[in-house]
Chain A
Amino acid sequence: MRLLTKTTLYYLAVSIIVFGIGGVVTYNLIRNEIQLETQYQMAASLPRLEERISRWIDRDRDLSNMNTNQLWVREVTGPATELNFSDTVAMHPHLDQMEVLRKLSVVKEINGKFVEIEMMDVFVEDSDIYESVVKIITRLFILLAIALILAGFFISKILLRPFDETLNRIKNFKVQDTSKMDLPKTTTKEFATLNSFISDMTEQAREEYQALKKFSEDASHEIQTPLAIAQGKLELLTDDPNLSSEQFALITSTQNALKRLSKVQQSLGLLTKIENREFDPQHQTDVSTLIENTVENFKELFDMRQLEVDARIEKGVTVKLDKHLGAIMLDNLVHNAIRHNHEGGYIKIELDKKHLRISNSGAPPPGDPARLFRRFEKNGSVESTGLGLAIVKEICDYHSMKIHYVYNTDHQIEVVF
């Protein structure tokens, strides 16, 4: 639920309570005021009534003729009383229904006689007051609700815009970005604080990322350059026509060692890069084509080792996978299937929308299969860097894919997308 919807709902809930209480209070206030007014009116009409009664008494007329359904006059023995107001239920004079009416009763001494006067009056019925109050409150509430929603709309358009903008920028932020995150200027203090905080944080993340990236590049440069020098010097040395066969053998094996060192460094550099998330894991990669290309690239190696390749590749499987890393992963997997195979063996490659399975013939692995994906884990092969499958695992983790190894008459590595 959006922040604004939530606040609006809270406001409306609070308004319902306030309006409810307000309604009761309003009802009571209005009712009391009307009551007082009614009493005042009745009391005010009393002197004239007294005059009338006094005239009637003078003329000796029967006071009961004066009675109506609102007025009741009779002679009593006394004594005189104060004005007394009370509620009574009686027939409404016009509405033909029982209503709560205000009653005034008093005993007055008029021309030496005690006369009891009862007067009933209604200005506004309670139900009318109630209805009106409910009507007023409901209309006010509807008005308020409309106002709140409209206000919310404008608030989000104007007041919350910098906040929305900031959210948007954060969503699109990548540590790989080369330029500083540009946050909108805002005069709202809280947003300004938030923006400056986010700005600092992202800048720091970006700098750390860049520093790490630069470090791994520099490290690579600093290691590969001397290796290149050594490699070149050895190569120049082989140009010497007076070289003996032993010397040449020494040079070649030194070159091989240098090459391996360089490969280890490159693999470690790649692992660092994956850990530093320098790739694009959201890229939609056509894995089917990628595998077909990989198989094509390795064709000669398959033939050389007389491996039978059975590739069952579903067409058009696309997976969120960095293109470059995807190629490396497949290379390493196929590479691995060739390396741990025997001459005349087989490699099965299966791809569907959910899995990639590569099985190959070969001797069972010694020890715990989970170790296979660890770094520098080698199966006695000196040539290998022991990093190929560690890289595959790292790539899978990076793309939230699962990878399993099973040995069950043959080696099987399964990647679940």
Chain B
Amino acid sequence: MILGGILVNSCTCCLFQHFKFSSKSHFSFVYEMKILIVEDNQDLADNISNYLEKEGNVCSKAANLFEAENRLLEFEYDMIILDIMLPDGQGLEILRTLKRETNQNAGVIIVSAKNALDDRLRGLDLGADDYLTKPFHLSELNARIKAIYRGRKFQGQQLIKFNEIEIDPETQEVKVNDEFLTLTKKEYELLLYFIANKNRVLTKQNIAEHLWGDHMDMLDSFDFVYQHIKNLRKKLTAAGSEDYLSNVYGMGYKMKSTVS
């Protein structure tokens, strides 16, 4: 327990370093989360940790209920990615432990192959923050984790800053160089999604799914995605922002944190 306490202290001090100066001396909003990935499938856990660690997060993995509980007792996490079908029991058990004892401040996102509605509701009832059905895009998971973290850590009060772009997630207001910018709901979501997954290529498919969920397959062309991105880009540059969005390989888009 003493060891645990020390570890908790030592990692909480770094937790509050949310801002990092980038080389161009802009404010860049980087989260450094300690994330526990509770997933019995090694490959999938690797995928997730691989993706999230590139974002500067620290990930640890637990392959079963027992391991997960041990880790939760010893360390403090900011985020728990929880598969609810575990070999030694239901992942929902962890949620119960979590709510009672340790890690009460951790955000929880359930990842499950079960689209079972009652599981979803039960999970959210027990205090999970979100629910993602397999298979999912890692960029989607990433965006959601960030949203949860923002909400939990700062009660949505914290502004998201991306160079000269500033977003208030509570009011959904966007400012460029301190000037308000009017975006449609979809454009706003798109911008947030890009910022959450900056410097990564997002496919049209990926973006469409984020914006329209399961209905995206009927968008017989991804022209709509293109249209939205074109509009967003136009609005941002017109407001004086650098043109961070770029088309990659003709099939995807990327938001670069710096324009070379």
Contact = CB atoms under 8 A, between A and B. Distances in A.
Nearest to B117: A324
Contacts, number: 115
A252 B205 contact: yes
Contacts of A223: 113
Nearest to A297: B215
Given A231-B137, A235-B137, A324-B117, A304 B201 contact: no
A335 B215 contact: yes
Contacts of A231: 135-137
Contact of A384 (B138, B209, B217): B217
Nearest to A383: B217
Interface string B114-133: 11110000000000000001
Size category of the B interface is 35 or more
Contact of B224 (A229, A270, A304): A304
A319 B220 CA distance: 34
Contacts of A289: none
A339 interface: yes
Interface in A173-219: 217
B150 interface: no
A304 B219 contact: yes
Contact of B201 (A217, A238, A300): A238
A221 B44 contact: no
Interface stretch (B12-20, B101-109, B175-183, B249-257): B249-257
SS class, residues of chain B in contact with chain A: mixed
A383 B208 CA distance: 14
Interface in B188-227: 200-201, 203, 205-206, 209, 212, 214-215, 217-220, 224
Given A221-B113, A225-B134, A383-B218, A238 B203 contact: yes
Contact of A243 (B133, B218, B249): B249
B252 A221 contact: no
Given A235-B137, A255-B205, A228 B44 contact: yes
B63 to A, nearest CB: 13
A81 B215 CA distance: 122
A324 B119 CA distance: 13
Interface of A: 217, 220-225, 227-233, 235-236, 238-239, 243-245, 248-249, 252, 255-256, 258-260, 262-263, 266, 269-270, 297-298, 300-301, 304, 324, 331, 335, 338-339, 383-384
The 10 tightest CB contacts between A and B, nearest first, are A232-B47, A228-B135, A224-B113, A248-B249, A221-B113, A228-B134, A224-B134, A245-B249, A227-B135, A231-B135
Interface of B: 41, 43-44, 47-48, 50-51, 54, 85, 112-117, 133-139, 186, 200-201, 203, 205-206, 209, 212, 214-215, 217-220, 224, 248-252
